[in-house]
């Protein structure tokens, strides 16, 4: 039962983290370069733009679910299982989501980079 709960937490974390990342990325595209905005209109204008974005709040909502789901997962199982499983699966889920929902050009180079990073994370955290 403990294993089932752990994988339920990992699945929830991956789904919520990918959804949150996609929504935040979409919101930031709509808002534009924060550095340029801060230089041209000041920090207050940046905060107003951020706080008035509904999509950004949607992303933060999903990220909050991922955060608490990860916390609960860490209390059920070791970091050596929850950490690499969540991280590696989230990298892959995000690459797929970036291609399908954000229409990013995830070319061979980026897929290769994602796979290298996943392997690296697994090697680091499972050893």
Partner 1 sequence: MTFRKYLVILSIALFGSVGDAFLARGMKDAGSIGLYHVTHVLSVLANPFVIIGILSLLVFMYSYMTALSFADLSYVLPATALGYVNMVLLSILWLHEHVSRQRWMGVAFIVIGVGLVAGGPSRTENHHPAVSESAAIEERV
Residues at the site binding partner 1, with contacts judged by CB under 8 A: 5, 21-22, 24-26, 28-35, 37, 40-41, 50, 56, 68, 71-72, 74-76, 79, 83, 91, 94-95, 97-99, 102-107, 109-110, 112-117, 119-125, 127
Q: Which of 118, 112, 54 is nearest to 90 (CA)?
A: 118
CA 113 distance to own-chain centroid: 16
- Residue placing its CB nearer to partner 1 in the complex, 16 or 24: 24
Q: How far is the CB of 72 from partner 1 (least distance, A)?
A: 6
Distance between CA atoms of 81 and 58, rounded to whole angstroms?
A: 28
Q: How far is the CB of 81 from partner 1 (least distance, A)?
A: 13
- Residue placing its CB nearer to partner 1 in the complex, 3 or 41: 41
Q: How far is the CB of 118 from partner 1 (least distance, A)?
A: 8
Place of tokens 């370069």: 33
Structure-token pair, residue 96 = 């797929």
Residue 68: CA count within 13 A, CB half-sphere? 5
Structure-token pair, residue 121 = 């994370």
- Residue placing its CB nearer to partner 1 in the complex, 16 or 94: 94
Q: How far is the CB of 126 from partner 1 (least distance, A)?
A: 8
Distance between CA atoms of 84 and 117, rounded to whole angstroms?
A: 11
- Residue placing its CB nearer to partner 1 in the complex, 15 or 37: 37
């Amino acid at each position: 039962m403990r294993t089932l709960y752990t994988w339920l937490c990992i699945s929830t974390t991956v789904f919520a983290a990918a959804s949150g990342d996609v929504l935040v990325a979409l919101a930031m595209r709509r808002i534009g370069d924060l550095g340029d905005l801060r230089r041209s209109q000041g920090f207050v204008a940046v905060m107003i733009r951020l706080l008035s974005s509904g999509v950004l709040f949607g992303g933060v909502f999903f990220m909050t679910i991922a955060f608490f789901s990860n916390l609960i997962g860490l209390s059920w199982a070791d970091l050596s299982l929850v950490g690499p499983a969540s991280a590696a699966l989230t990298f892959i889920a995000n690459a797929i989501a970036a291609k399908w929902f954000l229409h990013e050009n995830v070319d061979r180079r980026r897929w290769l980079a994602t796979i290298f990073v996943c392997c690296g994370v697994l090697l680091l955290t499972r050893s």
